[in-house]
Amino acid sequence: MRATGYLVRKPSARVVAVLAAALAAAALALAPPHAATGAVRAHRASAAATATATATASLAAVSCRGSSWCMAVGTYTSPKGARHALAQTWDGKSWRVLKPPGGSLTSVSCSASWFCMAAGGPTGAERWNGRSWREIAGPEGGAAGVSCGTRTLCMVAHQEGGVQVWNGTRWQVAAAPSNFCSGGAPGPCGFNDVACASASSCLAVGTWQVSSTEQDTLGFSWNGKQWHSTFPPSDGNPSELFSVSCAASSCLAAGGAYYEVDNGDIAEAASWNAKTATWTDVSPSLGTICTGFTTCSWTASLSCASASRCMAFGPRGNQWWDGAAWQPKPSVSAGRGSGLSTVACGGSNCLAVGYRTTGGARHTLAELWNGTTWKILPTPYVS
């Protein structure tokens, strides 16, 4: 029988199977999200969980200018394993994620919201101009622990290489501090840290072997024109200063010294007044911080907003200096697998950054000290 000029034939089994599969796929694609099958939902959830677990982010350093502007830097690793630098700013209310340079960033120092110097990136150092990052050649020995007083004065201390100085164009060795150890007794001699509050106020600290039996603290101050040797107080032998922070004309340095009575190292701290060129011993009473004839540090990070507002992080917990005494100020616990690596103070606030572990992966962590209490700040790159 003919039908309107066309021959009607029964479709084959193969054609029927292909059409059925196509219709099923189209129905699944057009279906609303809630209509997905249980198997599809489980697959999607598993994929999302895998992506979250493999993406990691942490903050390694922070620098603040005043109470309401800070720059934090670190590293972000994508779910596919690609490693990127991470940079973000805090305006007192919220975070802004910046377009980062390549590689990773390990330290940062800002003299203003429109100038920061960071260690890391493809060339070893990155410069922030308020809008974008620019790669520059890093100093010999690296730019870790950089401190900037202005956009034309940044310094980095190296144990053996003296102090490297950025003059706005290039890095060069600061002549006076680098020659200090020449001709001295054999033994440890060099700088561990340097801090600049302005173009005319910097302080470099470390240790030097005075004689075959005496190892003392080392300090050099910069007044904008030349370096001057200073003699920080020491509570034992050997003694060493590991970290320093400056604000205006005052600096606070921290370290350790061997105390024979306890056969161990005790905490040292000293404040420097650049106006009077004098030191004051302000060491906290923390007991023995390590045993044996050696020196160790009770601070991992030290930052001052003024002569009477300093925060120290270290093995003995957070310590707050109010200009007269040290007081323990423990930060808020972010749970197991979390840690704060560094702190920066500006104005009435201090900001500490690091990482916390959620869902089996590390994510960024920030805590704010308002002069009275700590609180956890929500940050980008946190699940």
Q: Looking at the domain that runs over 70-331, which CATH code has it been given?
A: 2.120.10.80
Specify the pLDDT at position 263: 83
Specify the pLDDT at position 50: 39
Query: Residue ranges per domain, the chain?
Result: 70-331
Specify the pLDDT at position 178: 61
How far is residue 257's CA from residue 237's CA, in Å, rounded to a whole number? 6
Average pLDDT over residues 16-43: 36
Specify the pLDDT at position 179: 63
pLDDT per position as a tens digit, 50-77: 334 467 999 999 999 999 999 999 999 8
Question: 């690793």: which residue's tokens?
Answer: 77
Specify the pLDDT at position 54: 63
Confidence at 310, pLDDT banded by 50, 70, 90: very high
- 228 and 221 Cβ atoms separated by less than 8 Å: yes
Question: 């209490």: which residue's tokens?
Answer: 373
CA 255 to chain centre: 20
Average pLDDT over residues 93-108: 92
Higher pLDDT: 178 or 222? It is 222
The pTM assigned to this predicted structure is 0.83
Confidence at 235, pLDDT banded by 50, 70, 90: confident
- Hey, what amino acid is at 200? S
Specify the pLDDT at position 28: 30
Confidence at 83, pLDDT banded by 50, 70, 90: confident
Specify the pLDDT at position 230: 92
Q: Is 238 exposed, middle or buried (0-12, 13-18, 19+ CB in 10 A)?
A: buried
Higher pLDDT: 161 or 31? It is 161
pLDDT per position as a tens digit, 284-295: 999 999 988 888
Residues 6+ away with beta carbon under 8 Å from 215: 187, 188, 207, 208, 209, 237, 238, 239, 240, 295
Confidence at 227, pLDDT banded by 50, 70, 90: very high
Confidence at 255, pLDDT banded by 50, 70, 90: very high
Show the tokens assigned to 77. Answer: 């690793």
CA dist 13 → 17, 18, 347 (Å): 6, 9, 79
